[in-house]
Amino acid sequence: MIEVIALSAQDARDAEAAGADRLELVSDMAQGGLTPAADVVRDVVKQCRLPVMVMVRPHARSFSYDEADRRQMREAVAMIRDAGAHGVVFGALTPEGDIDRACLDQVLRWADGLPLTFHRAFDAVRDPVRAFGALSAYRGAVTQLLTSARRRPLSGARRCSGNS
């Protein structure tokens, strides 16, 4: 499966024409991807036949969210559902670096059955094995995990050099 990041309806059309299987719709790639505007989501869903997964991330300060952030996220998820998007891309961590299950539970309730991809917040967890176990408990609801394979080496992991 080839999933392509899109920032606009034109990006979506280009990705579809190039053979993409699915889109991840975001805004502000310089910040690592944020929630796109409602009009962009509606345009992309309307103009593209591909499944569209939409980022829900209110800011780039961290992956920890307060009540004001959660209100924004609830509105974003409702907009995504109403626009007819395929699913949600989301991730939340506690200030300590664990999966924020309470926040994830809320977003899943708001998504009301839409598939959820847990995004690269995973790369910032303090214990990836424990975090993966936590996400595994959401099997069926959390359908995918996006990761850049953690930018920093895991504790005790050795670095590989050259081609392997």
159 class by beta-carbon count within 10 Å (0-12 exposed, 13-18 middle, 19+ buried): exposed
Asked whether residue 47 is domain-assigned, the answer is yes
Contact partners, residue 85, CB within 8 Å, separation at least 6: 25, 41, 45, 52, 53, 54, 114
Per-residue pLDDT of the chain (164 residues; tens, 9 = 90+): 899 999 999 999 999 999 999 999 999 999 999 999 999 999 999 999 999 999 999 999 999 999 999 999 999 999 999 999 999 999 999 999 999 999 999 999 999 999 999 998 999 999 999 999 999 999 889 999 988 875 544 333 333 333 33
Asked whether residue 155 is domain-assigned, the answer is no
Asked whether residue 163 is domain-assigned, the answer is no
Asked whether residue 131 is domain-assigned, the answer is yes
Domain extent, residue 22, equals 3-145
Asked whether residue 159 is domain-assigned, the answer is no
CATH number at residue 85: 3.20.20.380
Q: What's the domain count of the chain?
A: 1
Asked whether residue 46 is domain-assigned, the answer is yes
Asked whether residue 154 is domain-assigned, the answer is no
Provide DSSP, 96-124: TSSB-HHHHHHHHHHHTT--EEE-GGGGG
The alpha carbon of 67 is separated from its chain's Cα centroid by a whole number of angstroms, namely 19
**Whole-model pTM?**
0.87
Asked whether residue 160 is domain-assigned, the answer is no
